A and B are shown apart, each in its own frame.
Chain A
Amino acid sequence: MATVTTEGTVGLGLRRVSASKSPDQNIKKSDQLAILVDISSCIGCKGCEAACSQWHDLKPPLFAEEKVFTGYQSGPGLAPSLFMFMRFQEAETEKGLTWFITKYQCMHCSDPGCLKACPSPGAVIQYSNGIVDFDHSKCIGCKFCLSGCPFDVPRYDANNKPWKCNFCVDRVSAGLEPMCVKTCPTNALHFGTKEEMLIRANQLLQGLKKRGFDKAVIYDPPGVGGTGYIYLLPHGDKPEMYGLPKEASISPLISLWKGPVKLIGSVVLWGTLLGAFLQLILFGPIKVGKKHKKEE
């Protein structure tokens, strides 16, 4: 039984809850949702970035250009008040000068590292539709989610609470598409079930390959069980140029401290307690004077 539920029987069901057992999935089932980012159709207008801040009522920090050179980017990266940003990088490829554009935000991993690393029951939740969200009322501010995340996404604010893209869970629950998708003027963003998005991505991929992008790939890293954001990368051989890790997965160090270390720790600590108790009942306290009495 999970220790945490949200919205009773009306709202979205939960699939995973941090530091708790997963709730039973048999009552409410939902399709896994996904956003497909077709980089080949993106013109880099940053409309999604503006729409995101508008919908979430955020005032992202303004960067003085002389302080940090960020080129065409709005700023150096994610911030507590900036859930997504457009990342731009230029490089020479066999196709000449290439502009690598990515929409960067929480990837909504199927197996979220933040959720795995979180020690506070219910502070990180994954809804049955796959959206990963934070519950600040249960967050203790330990920042373990930063270590869990393979994509370096969560950002802590002055209240010591993490922020990130929540896939517009409020809009999605009301049957609307996420704000970024709604805004995109070139249809570079597609929203639907993961299944549908993969089919669409494959069709687009075939088209790209016909146009000579033989190295194009669909980015849906299996190391984290696939993601809620999938990307169609024209230069699939260089995901790092898009700011995406080549092989994203939860660090084995985290699996180590969440698995074997916990198990060994339980055995050692309970064993020590038991050992002390056994010493007490089998031999008794180590008292003074025993030696002297024996000598009498």
Chain B
Amino acid sequence: MEDVKNLEEVEVERFSAFDRFVHWLTAIPFVYLFLSGLGMYSPKFAWLLPFLGGREFSAWLHKWAGVVFTIGVLLMFLRWAKDFVLDSDDRIWLANVKYYLKGEEEKLPEAGKYNAGQKLFGWMVFIGGAVFLITGVVMWFPETFSTTFVRLAILLHEITFVVVGAGFIVHLYMGTVGVPGSLSSMITGKVSALWAASHHPKWFREVMRK
């Protein structure tokens, strides 16, 4: 018990200032993109648009928020792509994800700095971001492309919205309520040693060795 208490008091840096900046540079435009996109994707949510600055304005800002989001995703890719490579442990982790949801992490392979779920969401953002960018540019300037191409772009943009949107809901939940301590790691950059040891033991040992 003594041990546990000490671990709780020790702080470990999880995200550098750059990491946090890049995360929010991507996250803030994404929230706007998600909500304004939802308002345009589904007429049932068209009421969201007046709250985002007006119907016409939100459709306009959606495009520019997309530009900022793209820059964020690009920086994220450069920063994290190498850390998000899935290994064999990750595949076992994903196959047994039910233990994670039940809060029985000890039954899963030990996670490094990022667990398989986080890595997977990272790739959803990277690939989704690329699809959003390409199809978004086509939708922005439809007169420059063939009509069939524009129609296909809208379809792909919407499918990607559904996939990345679902991933975002999970990410938002896990980052706040689902895994207590995660949100402050993206704000202060620090987590307790206990948090690190129980959620990311492999990473924790690496940090301790240093």
Residue positions of A touching B, CB distance < 8 A: 19-20, 119-121, 138-144, 146-147, 152, 156, 251, 253-254, 256-257, 261-262, 264-266, 268-269, 271-273, 276, 279-280, 283-292, 296
Contacts and interface: CB of A to CB of B under 8 A. Distances in A.
Interface stretch (B17-25, B81-89, B150-158): B150-158
Contacts of A253: 148, 151-152, 154-155
24 contacts: A119-B46, A120-B46, A140-B58, A141-B56, A142-B139, A143-B143, A156-B143, A251-B147, A253-B154, A257-B155, A265-B41, A265-B161, A268-B162, A268-B166, A269-B162, A273-B169, A276-B169, A283-B103, A287-B180, A289-B4, A291-B105, A292-B3, A292-B4, A292-B194
A271 B159 CA distance: 16
Contacts of B198: 288-292
Contacts of A289: 4, 194, 198
A208 B143 CA distance: 39
Given A261-B159, A262-B42, A288 B181 contact: yes
Nearest to A142: B59
Contact of A280 (B142, B143, B155, B178): B178
B166 A19 contact: no
A272 B166 CA distance: 6
Residue from A138, A269, A292 with most neighbouring chain B CB atoms (10 Å): A269
B102 A283 contact: yes
Nearest to B165: A269
Contact of B150 (A146, A261, A280): A146
A143 B136 CA distance: 12
A146 B41 contact: no
Interface of B: 1, 3-4, 40-43, 46, 49, 55-56, 58-60, 100-103, 105-106, 139, 142-143, 147-148, 150-152, 154-155, 158-159, 161-163, 165-166, 169-170, 173, 177-181, 192, 194-195, 197-199
B179 A140 contact: no
**Ordered nearest first, which 9 A-B pairs have the shortest CB separation?**
A19-B43, A140-B59, A276-B173, A253-B151, A265-B162, A272-B166, A288-B198, A272-B169, A257-B155
Given A19-B46, A272-B166, A286 B179 contact: yes
A262 B159 CA distance: 9
Contacts of A292: 3-4, 194, 198
A140 B40 contact: yes
A273 to B, nearest CB: 6
Contacts of B103: 283-287, 290
Q: Would you call the interface of chain B mostly helix, strand, loop, or mixed?
A: helix
Contact of A139 (B4, B40, B56, B165): B56
Given A273-B169, A292-B4, A296-B1, A285 B179 contact: yes
Contacts of B40: 119-120, 140, 142
A140 B166 CA distance: 26
A285 B180 contact: yes
B115 to A, nearest CB: 11
A142 to B, nearest CB: 5
A20 B148 contact: no
A272 B142 CA distance: 32
Nearest to B150: A147
Contacts of B178: 276, 279-280, 285-286
A66 to B, nearest CB: 24
Given A147-B150, A289-B198, A283 B101 contact: yes
B62 to A, nearest CB: 9
A261 B59 contact: no
A261 B180 contact: no
B155 A261 contact: yes
Contacts of B58: 140
A273 B169 CA distance: 7
Contacts of A20: 43
B114 to A, nearest CB: 15
Contact of A285 (B139, B148, B158, B177): B177
